């Protein structure tokens, strides 16, 4: 068979050579040890939490080594493509702070190794496929689906392994005349690799996460170009990761099954293999047993859900880091205020089996992360979140930014900042009462407090209040109010002799809290009064008295 002639026959429109592309995309000039990684989503739906998990691995690996992190859109399967998904991914990754040095970024491509959308790379794939054909390493196959099915049935009947290989690969050694005739009849064809593998031999390889791997060589003549001239994942992966000079291919463990194909492809193409890094799938507990997070069943599969529910983006990333590296939590405890990017992320600390997604833990991390933010940052985040998901609260908040920031400053700073909320959606419930337009109190006082006593306290309080009091003086005043109506000024005193009092100073504070905030749980009452100011405080106490009196 004249392979050169065959290559020309099949791809007359391909005029560039593989050398042309090798020169166009030369090895990168990077410092020793710099790693080049990519995230390569297929725009077939929403952004899966697993993709974010992979992206953090890629991003940390590249940026901790002064390497390059890029985004490639794997959109060769137009049947499965969901319109707008690619742009959605780009914006989502940006929202999560994934800084791409190159790739398919908003507004087009950035970088010298593009195009970064596979749909724009068909000519490149065909050039390499043509070269493989010219070298006798690939060939066209004109089998119809029915013929492929017939082969499968025969294999099944004969108890042989399924697939297109060896003697079953009917077009493997077809005469060129037969190919010419099929082309003349305009029969569609795929291009297959002419496998030289032998399954009785083993391939050995070290995966950066899974460790040493060993598997039988591939012997399938798998498809490298589909009948529409575009490549399936395997071929595109080999060409792109080679030409884009990826050093570390981080991807889900579902690709382990076809790793023998990829190993053979890299060898056939004469490419140096990247380091493979197969990540374990994120799992969840379902009725006591572990299973993969499912796109269909689990809302947490969709990263957009976390945005909608107001999980701070940086907290989700921080949680992903705890899933990725077993020592992250210890590091965080030892470095509570350090930037998470200072953490020495490593493949070695990644688990071989899938980590469990734990919402409670994520929520704790959200509270920690938010408690470490300053009021300004919290304000900006809440404004951004409410702009999209709660416009009513957004309008209220942004009317007087300083007022909102004063509220958000309560309990911040110091070595033990308060952890009042973890999700942006909780902020309205937390601080809405500060705004008259949102203040709709139900005044649920603890049952042990008598109405007359509450009214007495609320009536008396403005007369003792002094705006210049510090927190201690303020509390002293509460004590005097307590004593004046038969409550203990001191809780210890009350505990020693509960029958001698109606209650204690804590009850007085609770009466004020409920009257001013409408709730039994609220930020510090002293801080609340300071922010509301004397007039508003007095109004609210009156309003509460009126409501009790009915």
Interface contacts to ligand GLU, rule CB under 6 A: 40-42, 74, 237, 249, 251
Nearer to ligand GLU, 74 or 300 (CB): 74
Location of structure tokens 């190794």: 113
Q: How far is the CB of 251 from ligand GLU (least distance, A)?
A: 3
Q: How far apart are CA 479 and CA 302, in angstroms?
A: 53
Which CB, 271 or 439, lies closer to ligand GLU? 271
User: At closest approach, how far in Å is the CB of 333 from ligand GLU?
Assistant: 33
- Pick between residue 266 and residue 435 the one whose CB is nearest to ligand GLU: 266
Please, which residue, 40 or 532, has the CB nearer to ligand GLU?
40
Q: State how far the Cα of 306 lies from the Cα of 243, in Å rounded to an integer.
A: 35
> Measured from the CB atom, is 279 or 525 closer to ligand GLU?
279
CA distance 377 to 135: 60
Residue 59 near residue 90, CB atoms below 8 Å: no
Least distance between ligand GLU and beta carbon 69 (Å): 13
SS3 for 27? Answer: coil
375, 403 contact by CB (below 8 A):
no
Q: Which has the closest alpha carbon to 30: 122, 130, 102?
A: 102
Nearer to ligand GLU, 292 or 477 (CB): 292
Which residues, 6+ apart, have CB-to-CB distance to 306 below 8 Å? 49, 300, 313, 316
d(CA 34, CA 63): 8
Phi, psi of 77 (to 5 degrees): -100, 85
Q: From residue 139, how far is each of 184, 230, 377 by CA, in Å?
A: 17, 15, 59
- Nearer CB in complex with ligand GLU: 257/521: 257
Instruction: Kindly state the smallest distance separating residue 249's Cβ from ligand GLU, in Å.
Output: 6
Task: Give dist(CA 453, CA 110) in Å, integer.
Answer: 70
425, 389 in Cβ contact below 8 A? yes
CB of 397 to ligand GLU, least distance (A): 39
CB of 80 to ligand GLU, least distance (A): 10
The conformation of residue 345, written as its DSSP 8-state character, comes to -
Q: Supply 161's token pair.
A: 């392994």
Sign of CA dihedral 346, 351, 357, 362: negative
Question: What is the smallest separation between the CB atom of 236 and ligand GLU, expressed in angstroms?
Answer: 9
Give the residue with the Cβ less far from ligand GLU, 207 or 453.
207
What's the min distance (Å) between Cβ of 41 and ligand GLU? 5
């Amino acid at each position: 068979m004249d392979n050169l002639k065959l290559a020309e026959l099949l791809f007359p429109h391909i005029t560039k050579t593989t050398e042309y592309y090798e020169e166009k995309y030369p090895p990168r000039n990077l410092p020793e040890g710099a790693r080049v990684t990519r995230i390569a989503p297929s725009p077939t739906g929403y952004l899966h939490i697993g993709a974010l998990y992979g992206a953090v691995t890629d991003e940390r690996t590249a940026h901790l080594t002064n390497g390059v992190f890029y985004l490639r859109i794997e959109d060769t399967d137009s049947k499965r493509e969901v319109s707008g998904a690619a742009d959605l991914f780009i914006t989502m990754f940006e929202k999560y702070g994934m800084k791409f040095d190159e790739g398919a970024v908003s507004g087009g491509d950035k970088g010298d190794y593009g195009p970064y959308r596979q749909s724009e790379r068909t000519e490149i794939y065909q050039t390499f496929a043509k070269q493989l054909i010219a070298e006798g390493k690939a060939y066209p196959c004109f089998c119809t689906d029915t013929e492929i099915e017939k082969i499968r049935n025969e294999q099944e009947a004969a108890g042989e392994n399924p697939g297109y290989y060896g003697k079953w690969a009917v077009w493997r050694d077809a005469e060129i005349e037969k190919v010419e005739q099929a082309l003349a009849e305009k029969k569609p064809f795929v291009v297959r690799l002419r496998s030289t593998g032998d399954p009785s031999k083993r391939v050995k390889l070290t995966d950066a996460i899974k460790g040493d791997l060993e598997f039988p060589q591939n012997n399938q003549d798998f498809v490298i170009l589909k009948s529409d001239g575009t490549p399936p994942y395997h071929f595109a992966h080999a060409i792109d990761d080679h030409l884009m000079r990826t050093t570390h291919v981080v991807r889900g463990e579902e690709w382990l099954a076809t790793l023998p194909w990829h190993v053979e492809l890299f060898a056939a193409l004469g490419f140096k293999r990247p380091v493979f890094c197969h990540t374990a799938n994120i799992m969840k507990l379902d009725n006591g047993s572990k299973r993969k997070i499912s796109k269909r069943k689990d809302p947490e599969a969709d990263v957009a859900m976390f945005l909608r529910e107001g999980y701070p983006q940086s907290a989700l990333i921080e949680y992903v880091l705890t899933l990725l590296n077993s020592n992250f939590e210890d590091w965080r405890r030892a470095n509570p205020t350090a930037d998470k990017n200072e953490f020495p992320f490593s493949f070695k600390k990644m688990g071989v089996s899938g980590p469990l997604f734990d919402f409670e833990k994520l929520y704790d991390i959200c509270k920690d992360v938010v408690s470490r933010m300053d009021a300004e940052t919290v304000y900006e985040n809440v404004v951004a979140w409410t702009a999209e998901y709660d416009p009513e609260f957004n309008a209220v908040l942004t009317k007087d930014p300083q007022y909102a920031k004063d509220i958000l400053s309560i309990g911040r700073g110091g070595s033990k900042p308060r952890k009042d909320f973890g999700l942006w959606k909780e902020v309205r419930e937390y601080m809405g009462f500060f705004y008259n337009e949102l203040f709709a109190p139900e005044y649920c006082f603890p049952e042990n407090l008598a109405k007359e006593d509450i009214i007495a306290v609320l009536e008396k309080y403005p007369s003792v209040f002094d705006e210049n009091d510090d927190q201690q003086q303020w509390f002293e005043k509460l004590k005097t109010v307590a004593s004046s109506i038969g409550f203990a000024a001191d809780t210890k005193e009350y505990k020693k002799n509960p029958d001698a009092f109606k209650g204690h100073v804590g009850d007085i504070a609770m009466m004020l809290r409920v009257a001013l905030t409408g709730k039994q749980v609220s930020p510090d009452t002293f801080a609340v009064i300071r922010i509301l100011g004397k007039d508003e405080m007095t109004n609210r106490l009156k309003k509460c008295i009126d409501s009790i009196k009915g």
